Amino acid sequence: MKKVMAALITLVMVTLLAACGGGGGQSKPADTKEKASGDQKDQIIIKFSHVTSKDSVKGKAADKFAELAAAKTGGKVKVEVYPSSQLYGDKDELDALVAGNVQMIAPSVTKMVKLDPRWQYVDMPFLFRDRNHALAFFKSDLAKKLLNGDKLVSNDIVGLAFWENGFKNFSNNKKPLKTAADFQGLKFRAQAGKVLEGQFKALGAGSATIPFGETYAALQQGTVDGQENTFNNIDTQKYQEVQKYLTVSNHGRLDYAIFVNKTFWDGMPQDVRTKVEEALKEATEYEWQLASQDNDKSFENLKKSGKMQITELTAAERAELEKALQPVYGEFKSIITPELIDGIKNMK
């Protein structure tokens, strides 16, 4: 009996020692894992989702921002860029931002109309005189007020900057467009929006809301006669293959804005946020330069292709077309607000 008890005691002691030895052997991996978690927690991750390709102006600028943010914060901030709707598409990215599933997006400003109708300003015909006028607005206190509007803030969103796409121009497959009368009876593809419906109605034309990715096929099949877009979009989407006439009208804008989740942004340490703001400012100036260069290059490509008859409006023709579109202001000025419309118009 004594021998059995001794054997049992020895077995228990061996088991306990083995257990203690095993615990000591695992202590280093456990510490490493905890340290790794601590490092990850210390690094601020900004998930930046957008819908255009990595090689687009927006894509290049987003990558530039990521590079600058990492450099300026010494790696404390990592911007993870997800292009080409890898995370969320046009219809979902705004909801994802509100939910905090992403921290930053760069949508076409028209997408913000669902929260604040003032963002329809971008579709108002001939509101901007030229590119310098648009850039002056981007830098203005009026723009900052729009970016920080109550209806955005109440949805936990704040705007940080405007990124440029460019001016829209008309194309069609029927005839040159010089006067309002030339638009009569034609049907155009348009983005969703009451202002754009009103624009084509004022010109005696019809419109159809067709997704951007389906526009080429709609033009090719004759579902619509024409469309409106920037030179770069017309060029890169190869609309010159299915459109015979281009009118350099510069009648409206297509632009983007950078939005962040407000709770996330406000929770960032002030010194770090300042560095990220500096990075975004530099990336924004870079984006403006790229957008201008790409549109100029695309216009040259369209001219060299020889596939489109290009009409550049005279000052008198532009004025006549602008006059024909004044009913749009009568219908929408009160909705977008006189403060914003007049503020932009009177900006120097």
Q: How far apart are CA 262 and CA 100, in angstroms?
A: 9
Between CA 62 and CA 60 the distance in angstroms is: 5
- Residue 328 corresponds to which tokens in the numbers above? 């749009």
Query: d(Cα 106, Cα 98) in Å, to the nearest integer?
Result: 14
Which residue in 332, 201, 167, 192 sits closest to 341, CA to CA? 332
Q: 134 with 253: CB under 8 angstroms?
A: yes
Task: Give 290-293 contacts, CB < 8 A, sequence gap 24+.
Answer: 290/57, 290/60, 290/61, 291/57, 291/163, 291/164, 291/165, 291/166, 291/232, 292/131, 292/164, 292/166
Rounded distance between C-alpha atoms, residue 139 and residue 143, angstroms:
7
pTM of the model as a whole: 0.83
Number of helical H runs and strand E runs in the chain: 14, 9
Amino acid identity, position 26: Q
pLDDT score of 211: 84
Residues 6+ apart with CB under 8 A from 116: 146, 149, 151, 152
CB 290 within 8 A of CB 61: yes
The whole-angstrom distance between residue 254's C-alpha and the CA centroid of its chain comes to 10
The answer to whether residues 215 and 237 touch, using CB atoms and an 8 Å cutoff, is yes
Q: How would you classify residue 235: left for phi > 0, otherwise alpha for psi between -120 and 50, otherwise beta?
A: alpha
Classify burial at 252, counting beta carbons within 10 Å of its beta carbon; exposed 0-12, middle 13-18, buried 19 or more.
Answer: buried
Q: Coil, strand or helix: which one is 239?
A: helix
Rg (CA), the chain: 28
Query: Is residue 301 a contact partner of residue 235, using CB atoms and an 8 Å limit?
Result: yes
Distance of CA 255 to the CA centre of its chain: 8
Give the Cα separation of 126 and 170 in Å (integer). 13
Nearest Cα neighbor of 46 from 68, 14, 13 is 68
What's phi and psi for 156, nearest 5 deg?
65, 40
Would you write out the chain's pLDDT as a tens digit for each of its 348 residues?
A: 444 444 444 444 444 434 444 433 333 322 322 333 334 568 999 999 998 888 889 999 999 999 999 999 999 999 999 998 899 988 899 999 999 999 999 999 988 998 999 999 999 999 999 999 999 999 999 999 999 999 999 999 999 999 999 999 999 999 999 999 999 999 999 988 899 999 999 999 999 998 888 999 999 999 999 999 999 989 988 999 999 999 999 999 999 999 999 999 999 999 999 999 999 999 999 999 999 999 999 999 999 999 999 999 999 999 999 999 999 999 999 999 999 999 999 998
- Cβ neighbours, 10 Å, residue 64: 20
Q: How far is CA 6 from the centre of its chain?
A: 77
What domains lie within the chain, and their CATH numbers? 43-345 (3.40.190.170)
Report how far apart the first and last C-alpha atoms of the chain are (Å, whole number): 105
At residue 40, the pLDDT reads 54
- How many beta carbons lie within 10 A of that of residue 123, not counting itself? 28
CA nearest to 145, candidates 342, 347, 339: 339
Distance between CA atoms of residues 164 and 148, nearest Å: 19
Cβ count within 10 A of residue 33: 10
Extract the tokens encoding 244: 């015979």
CA distances from 48 to 52, 82, 185, 206, 233 (A): 12, 6, 43, 37, 23
- C-alpha–C-alpha distance, residues 183 and 204, integer Å: 6
